[in-house]
């Protein structure tokens, strides 16, 4: 489920109604500074799609009728997620969009989740602001590898966060990134790396977050 704190709610957004003309929508977009805003129905509850400033500019430059309703250039009508959607599904939905629309339990427009909010959340989960080092540890991806690596590291310190990459089917190498707490010294780091490599876990990259 999406965290509501990550979502920008409707009351804080600039939106346009579906009966708004392209000319009116362009003024709203120019005044707001946004390149794209949601289109809602007359009740302000139903999401119709998005309107992009660039599409209106293109239409206008080609001599198009600016009195047409904004829905004439409507885009992304099916690009939305539910507030109850599994969090990882959002990554696939938001991929090529400036934001993804979020609907509530009644399928009414609730707000949007932006790329910026998503990246901020990932940054926080990675603990880059309170960590010392990030270790990239390479393993064969065998069963029990993550447990074994974690045991080695936690023998010397706690783990601030852990992210596993290369999880696609057919991958023979797995990269796991461990963020270590801020109190880990360089000496302790070297001890951890030696212990990992002794168990045949390679550490090809170490990022110092304190630089």
- What domains lie within the chain, and their CATH numbers? 4-120 (3.10.580.10), 128-208 (3.30.70.260)
pLDDT at 163: 85
Q: Mean of the pLDDT values across residues 61-86?
A: 94
Judge whether 141 and 173 are in contact, CB under 8 Å: yes
**Reported pTM:** 0.69
Query: In this model, does residue 185 exceed pLDDT 80?
Result: yes
CA distances from 155 to 56, 84, 135, 151 (A): 60, 38, 15, 6
Query: In this model, does residue 168 exceed pLDDT 80?
Result: no
pLDDT band per the 50, 70, 90 thresholds, residue 101:
very high
Pairing of strands 131-139, 174-181: antiparallel
């Amino acid at each position: 489920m999406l965290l509501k704190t990550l979502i920008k709610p409707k009351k804080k957004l600039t939106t346009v109604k579906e009966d708004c003309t392209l000319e009116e929508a362009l003024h709203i977009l120019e005044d707001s500074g946004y390149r794209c805003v949601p289109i809602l129905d007359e009740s302000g509850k139903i999401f119709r799609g998005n309107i992009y400033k660039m599409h209106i500019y293109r239409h206008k430059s080609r001599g198009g009728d600016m009195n047409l309703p904004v829905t004439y250039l409507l885009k992304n009508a099916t690009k939305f997620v539910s507030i109850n959607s599994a969090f990882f599904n959002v990554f696939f939905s938001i991929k090529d969009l400036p934001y993804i629309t979020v609907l509530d339990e009644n399928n009414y427009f609730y707000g949007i989740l932006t790329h910026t909010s998503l990246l901020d959340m990932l940054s926080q989960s990675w603990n880059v602001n309170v960590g010392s080092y990030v270790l990239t540890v390479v393993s064969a991806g065998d069963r029990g590898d993550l447990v074994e690596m974690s045991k080695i590291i936690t023998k010397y310190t706690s783990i601030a966060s852990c992210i596993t990459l290369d999880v696609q089917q057919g991958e023979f190498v797995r990269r796991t990134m461990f963020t270590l707490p801020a109190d880990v010294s360089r000496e302790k780091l070297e001890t951890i790396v030696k212990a990992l490599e002794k168990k045949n876990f390679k550490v090809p990259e170490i990022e110092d977050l304190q630089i």
